Amino acid sequence: MKMEPIEDIAAFMKQNGLVLVTAESCTAGLIAARLADIPGAGALLDCAYVVYSCEAKEQCLGVKRETIERFNLTSEEVAREMAQGALKKSAANLAIANTGVAEAVDDEIPAGTQCFAWAFRTGKNDDDDPAIFSETHRFSGGRNEVRDAGAHYALMRVPYYFACLHESS
């Protein structure tokens, strides 16, 4: 019987000792929920932050107001600060963050645009700066299709960025 891709990711995380914290805006907890669908996910998932508003991103994760004002909510810079903040507040060694727009809000940012960040704790000390990778991806479809695709994409990229982490060290 062929394993589902999310099961492959869960197995990869388990094999590599990865424990996840999420900081989600556009996907509103779907990244964590996808992983939680897998039996044994309790060993792979520490916690999840759903932070829609600017205030929540600032208060819960320490995203700087200056970053939001300078780069916009839908930006890799905000996603990176979200991931870093989630990692600092968690015992996890991997954070995934996303922020974006699932549907058209204005002409500035196309519908389906999501910015992601993957942060890996690299040192023994919690104060060590994590290795952070980020990218922007645009998904097509309706609001919930975009959110589902984003959650799936975020998890599927974990092995790629884990490999990047080890290539750079």
CATH code for the domain of 24: 3.90.950.20
Task: Provide the pLDDT confidence category of residue 123 given band limits of 50, 70 and 90.
Answer: confident
Of residues 106, 99, 109, 121, the one with CA closest to residue 20: 121
Residue 1 has a pLDDT of 41
Residue 104 has a pLDDT of 76
Mean per-residue pLDDT over the chain, rounded: 92
Q: Distance between the two ends of the chain, CA-based, in angstroms? A: 37
Is the alpha carbon torsion for 99, 103, 104, 109 positive or negative? positive
Q: State how far the Cα of 94 lies from the Cα of 132, in Å rounded to an integer.
A: 10
Of residues 67, 82, 90, 87, the one with CA closest to residue 130: 87
Q: At what angle do helices 54-61 and 76-88 cross, to 10 degrees?
A: 40
Q: State how far the Cα of 82 lies from the Cα of 130, in Å rounded to an integer.
A: 12
Tell me the pLDDT tens digit for each residue of 61-79.
Answer: 999 999 999 999 999 999 9
Q: Which residues pair with 134 in a beta bridge?
A: 117
Q: Which residues pair with 24 in a beta bridge?
A: 50, 98
Domain of 57, in residue numbers: 5-168
Residue 124 has a pLDDT of 62
Asked if the model's pLDDT at residue 115 lies above 70, the reply is yes
* Between 105 and 70, the higher pLDDT residue: 70
The structural domain count of the chain equals: 1
Take residue 150 and report the two structure tokens written for it: 């984003």
Q: At what angle do helices 158-168 and 5-15 cross, to 10 degrees?
A: 30
Asked if the model's pLDDT at residue 23 lies above 80, the reply is yes
